[in-house]
Amino acid sequence: MPKQPERAPIGPVDASVVPRYGGEATFARLPRLDQVPHADVALLGVPFDSGVSYRPGARFGPGHIRQSSRLLRPFNPALGVEPFAEQQVVDAGDVVCNPFDIGAAVESVDSAVSELLDRGTKVVTLGGDHTITLPVLRALSRRHGAIAVLHFDAHLDTWETYFGEPYTHGTPFRRAAEEGLLDETRCAHVGIRGPLYSPLDLVRDAKLGFRVFTSDDIEARGAAAVSQDVRARLDGGPVYVSVDIDVLDPAHAPGTGTPEIGGLSSRELLVMLRGLAGLEIVGADVVEVSPSYDHAEITGLAAANVAYELVSLLALGARPLSSR
């Protein structure tokens, strides 16, 4: 059989030909999963927020992030990559999640992510509240074993339960640690700040294997310096990147459910993300975007651009070692 010529990825709709404010709001105006023969990377919406402890609305996050992603362009100069040309990126639509049964919703996310991974597609999940990271980690660790988690968040999300419930947006990383999904020598939280329930929260969190880089550390030492330490912590195996948009200061991301003052600027978050270039990233998410508290798409734009950086990092990771 003659070798098939390699097909170039189908990219976004060209904004210089078709106005970017019209047409279907797939992420970055990319093709849908059913429009390509094979996808290397899929953006997957998870409209679910039954795990929240305060303001609701993250169920509307995926649609809002897509709408806010219309202005993204195909070349990322900061990382020197064309993320949609070097790999086939698609929008895989939304997972159907039962809003009245958290356990069932968690199973649905696991199945949807597993199905994509089985086809050789990496997944960047658009939440949804932070509950949804647990099933993604379950699906990934079935393939990769225990993985490092880099968790950007104001909150630890390693609390025990809320109202006796194990699956909530404040507990995913405790469940993940208990289930042995995490490489406890290589996990980190970045951007932690704000009041806790008890001094023991930090002690219990450290026991799960997380190193904490606080929002104050970034203010004191600068994002570039902290990013070096984070990188050193993660190196040596598969890494999952979870971005709770409330890692940003409410001035940079007002549209979220549990806002905490004194957070990162969007510029600092970009520096931290770009510092990950070259790591073995196996999946990522952007969660906790709650559009009804957003203004002027501030949070939507931040989330869309974070997802764009994550897809860019996946493109770099897919390059042959010699050209990274």
When the beta carbons of 132 and 298 are compared against ligand ALG, the nearer one is 132
Report d(CA 249, CA 280) in Å as an integer: 28
User: Which option in ligand ALG, Zn ion, none does residue 54 bind, with CB closer than 5 to 8 A by kind?
Assistant: ligand ALG
The residue ranges that bind Zn ion (CB under 5 A) are 130, 153-155, 157, 244, 246
3-state secondary structure of 31: coil
Q: Which residues contact 44 (CB under 8 A, 6 or more apart)?
A: 92, 93, 94, 95, 112, 113, 116, 123, 124, 125, 126
Report d(CA 60, CA 53) in Å as an integer: 16
Can residue 53 be called a binding residue for ligand ALG (CB under 6 A)?
yes
When the beta carbons of 169 and 231 are compared against ligand ALG, the nearer one is 169
76 DSSP 8-state letter: B
Is 217 known as a binding-site position?
no
When the beta carbons of 141 and 242 are compared against ligand ALG, the nearer one is 242
User: Which option in ligand ALG, Zn ion, none does residue 135 bind, with CB closer than 5 to 8 A by kind?
Assistant: none
Q: Which residues contact 19 (CB under 8 A, 6 or more apart)?
A: none
Q: How many residues in the shown chain lie near ligand ALG by CB under 6 A?
A: 12
Instruction: List the x/- string, 272-311, binding to ligand ALG by CB under 6 A.
Output: ----------------x-----------------------
User: Which option in Zn ion, ligand ALG, none does residue 170 bind, with CB closer than 5 to 8 A by kind?
Assistant: ligand ALG
Is 244 known as a binding-site position?
yes
Report d(CA 9, CA 28) in Å as an integer: 14
User: Which option in ligand ALG, Zn ion, none does residue 263 bind, with CB closer than 5 to 8 A by kind?
Assistant: none
Tokens of 214: 């606080």
Can residue 170 be called a binding residue for ligand ALG (CB under 6 A)?
yes
Q: What angle do CA 49, 54, 55 make, to 5 degrees?
A: 65
3-state secondary structure of 21: coil
> Residues of 93-115 as b/e, b for ≥16 C-beta within 10 angstroms?
bbbebeeeebeebbebbbebbbe
**Residue appearing with tokens 């406890």:** 184
Can residue 157 be called a binding residue for ligand ALG (CB under 6 A)?
yes
Is 101 known as a binding-site position?
no
When the beta carbons of 243 and 313 are compared against ligand ALG, the nearer one is 243
Is 14 known as a binding-site position?
no
Can residue 244 be called a binding residue for ligand ALG (CB under 6 A)?
yes
Is 155 known as a binding-site position?
yes
Report d(CA 115, CA 111) in Å as an integer: 6
User: Which option in ligand ALG, Zn ion, none does residue 265 bind, with CB closer than 5 to 8 A by kind?
Assistant: none
| Strand (E) or helix (H) holding 73 | none
Question: Per the annotation, where are the binding residues for Mn(2+)?
Answer: 130, 153, 155, 157, 244, 246
Binding site for ligand ALG (CB under 6 A): 53-54, 130, 155, 157, 169-170, 244, 246, 257-258, 288
Question: Per the annotation, where are the binding residues?
Answer: 130, 153, 155, 157, 244, 246
